[in-house]
Amino acid sequence: MADPAFDTRLQQALAFIESKGVRRSTAAPPLYRLFWKMGLKVPPPLMAGFFSIALLMGSFFGVFWGLVMWLLIWNRTHMPSAIAALLALMAGVLFGLIMAAVLRMQARGKRIPVWKEFSP
């Protein structure tokens, strides 16, 4: 289901972010574009809060990185699945925290407000 109000605000937010000199690939990365096409109302990453960025990006990274590692390496070395899951979880947490810190610092440096404070 499309929400015209959210879509309009999102396009205005992306235009605002790009006006600050941020590339489109950073303002609207592929993962977020996928969410928007699915109808999920998530703010652009530079306007999201620290923990929502960490959770969203860390979850997807941990799952996909863990699956790739399992299929390519860990399964062949007979690594216990509990250890593999723990490593994937740790990688996801680390990646999420790093991405959240980087994006929030970039937003702060470019003076990009968080979503709830953005008014077009």
pLDDT (tens digit, 9 = 90+) per residue, 46-74?
999 999 999 999 999 999 999 999 999 99
Residue 1 pLDDT class (50, 70, 90 cuts)? low
Pairwise CA distance, residues 78 & 97, whole Å: 30
CB atoms within 10 A of CB 61: 20
Average pLDDT value over all residues in the chain: 94
Instruction: Kindly tell me the burial class for residue 32, based on how many C-beta atoms sit within 10 Å of its own C-beta (0-12, 13-18, 19 or more).
Output: buried
Q: Output the pLDDT for position 64.
A: 96
Q: Structural domain of residue 50, as residue ranges?
A: 4-117
**pTM listed for this prediction:** 0.87
Number of domains in the chain: 1
Q: Cα–Cα distance between 83 and 33 in angstroms, integer?
A: 32
